[in-house]
Chains A and B, each alone.
Chain A
Amino acid sequence: MRKIPAKDVIEAVARLCTGCNHHLPQDVRAAFERAHAAETDDVPREVFRQLLENADLAANSALPLCQDTGLAVFFVEMGEECRVDGLALREAITEGVRKGYGEGHLRKSSCDPFSRANTGDNTPAIIHIDLVPGDRLHIAFMAKGGGSENMSRVTMLAPAQGWKGIRDFVVRRVAEAGPNPCPPVLVGVGVGGTFEYAAMLSKKALLRSVDDVHPDAAHAARETELLDAINALGIGPMGLGGRTTCLAVKMAVAPCHLASLPLAVNIQCHSARHGEVTL
C-alpha cells in the first residue's frame, strides 16, 4: 500500500486553488482569441479585449480572475493501492482548500443556506470520490461560481421526447439564462443515469478541454449541433449580442432506467477555472 503524506495532498490542493483562480486555462484563452477575431461588431470585440486583458492581469498580479472564486469542487480518483498518511483524504483536501483560499486572498463564498452566515474559510468543499485501480491519487479541481451555477437545471424527460427534447431543453435553458451566467458560456450536458447522477455527469463534462472531441462520433455530432444552435441565439458575450454565446458543449452519457431520460445542464461562465494533479 503506497502512502501519500497528507501534507503533499494539502499543498497540491492549495496550489490548485490559487493557480486556477489566477491562470485561465490555455484552451479557454485561445477560444477567446478566436472569438475576438470572429466577432465583427465593436461591442463583443471590446468584451473579449477586456477578458484577455483581465486574464493577463490576473496571471501577473495578486488579483484573481474573478471576485467569485467559487465553491471548491473536486473530482477525486483514489487508487485502491494507495492511502493518505496522517489525515483522511477528505480532511486533507479540506485543509488544502482552507490554505489555498486563505493564503491566496481568494473569496470565501460558502455559507449556511438558512442563516446565510459565511463559514469563513470556503469549506466544506464539494468532493466526489471514486475508487479506481492503481496506486495514484488524481485530483481534479473546479472553482465554480454562483452566477452560472444558478442558471443550471436538472429535468426528467420522458423517453419519447428523445434527442429533440434534449436539444430543445438545453438550447432553451441557455436562451433563458441570457446575460446572467456571464456568457460566452461552456455547457456541460449530462444525459442518463439517475436524477443526481445526470447532474454529476454534466459537471464532470466541464473538465474536458474546449477542443476535446467526444470519442463517440454520434455524441460528438450532438455536441456540435447544440453548440451551433446555441450560438445561433445571438446572445453574445455578456448578453450584448454577437456570434459567440457558447465556447463549447461537452456531453457525458450513461445508461438510464427504461422509464426515464434524465437530463442535466450545468452552465459554466467564461472564467472556466479548473485544473488537475496526480500524486
Chain B
Amino acid sequence: MPVHHLTTPLTDTAVDALRSGDVILLSGTIYTARDAAHRRLCDALDRGEQPPFDLRGAVIYYVGPSPAPPGHPIGAAGPTTSYRMDSYAPRLHALGLKATIGKGRRDATVRKALSEHTAVYFGATGGAGALLAQRITAARVIAYDDLGPEAIRELTVKDFPLLVINDAHGGELYVTPQLPEGD
C-alpha cells in the first residue's frame, strides 16, 4: 500500500492523488470538531459570521479528547463515529474543507461532496486513543470553550496515522457485509 506523507493545508493536487486504502502520515495543523461544535459552527455561518478557523485547505478531526493529564498536551484522542456529522460536511467541503478524520461509514451526500470539491475522508483507528495522542504535539482551544470536550481545538500533529476511506473519485474502503441468501 502506498504511504503518503501529507502536510496541512491540503491542496487539490495532493487530495486528487489519494486513493482509498492509501496509508497517510499527516503532519501540520488540524482542527477538532464534533456534534455540538458543528451545530454552532453552522449556526455562525447562517448568521454570516466567519468560522473560527480558515476552512480553506483545512482538516477537521471528529474527536472529543479526554482531559490532558499533567505533562501531556492532550488526553486520549481517537476518532468518534462520523455519520453524525454527515448533515454538516457537504456545506463545509463547499467552503474549502479538504478532509475529515473519523471512523465509520459516510452517507451518499458526503461522498458526492468529496467528488465535487476534491476532498477526502480519512479513517483513524477507533479505540486507539492513547496511541493516537502520541502523535499530537500541541493542543489549544480556539473556540466554544464552554463545550468542554466538544470545544474546537487546534492540534499540531506529526505523522498522524490514517487510512483513506473515501477518496475524491468515488472510492470506498469499507467492506460491504454479505448477508446470507433469503434473509
Contacts and interface: CB of A to CB of B under 8 A. Distances in A.
Contacts of A168: 183
A270 B104 CA distance: 14
Interface string B107-130: 000000000000000010111111
Contact of B129 (A47, A54, A108, A180): A54
Nearest to A62: B69
Given A51-B125, A69-B66, A118-B147, A57 B131 contact: yes
A179 to B, nearest CB: 5
A171 interface: yes
A64 B129 contact: yes
Interface in A185-226: none
Given A67-B64, A233-B177, A109 B149 contact: yes
Given A116-B35, A240-B174, A66 B133 contact: no
Contacts of B134: 57
B76 A239 contact: no
Counting contact residues on chain B (CB < 8 A from A), the size range is 35 or more
Contacts of A63: 66, 69, 72, 75-76, 129-130, 133
The winner among B1, B35, B149 for most chain A CB atoms within 10 A is: B149
A108 B131 contact: no
Contacts of A58: 76, 129-130
A105 B131 contact: no
A147 interface: yes
B139 to A, nearest CB: 12
Interface in B161-180: 161, 163, 173-175, 177-180
A34 interface: no
Contacts of B63: 67
B126 to A, nearest CB: 4
A92 interface: no
A82 interface: no
Interface string A231-247: 00111101111000000
Interface stretch (B46-54, B78-86, B93-101): B78-86
Contacts of A105: 66-69, 75
Nearest to A242: B175
Interface residues of A, number: 50
A66 B127 contact: yes
Contacts of B19: none
Contacts of B131: 50, 53-54, 57
Interface in B6-41: 35-36
A172 interface: yes
A178 B104 contact: yes
A50 B147 contact: no
B81 to A, nearest CB: 5
A172 B67 CA distance: 36
Interface centre among A65, A150, A172 (most CB of B within 10 A): A65
Contacts of A238: 103, 123, 125-126
Interface centre among A47, A62, A168 (most CB of B within 10 A): A62
Interface in B151-166: 161, 163
A61 interface: yes
B71 interface: yes
B70 A116 contact: no
Given A105-B69, A120-B148, A235-B177, 6 more contacts: A63-B129, A108-B149, A109-B149, A147-B103, A175-B177, A182-B126
Interface of A: 42-43, 47, 50-51, 53-54, 57-58, 61-69, 105-109, 116, 118, 120, 146-147, 150, 168, 171-172, 175, 178-182, 229, 233-236, 238-241, 269-271
User: 4 closest Cβ contacts across the A-B interface?
Assistant: A62-B69, A180-B104, A233-B177, A63-B130
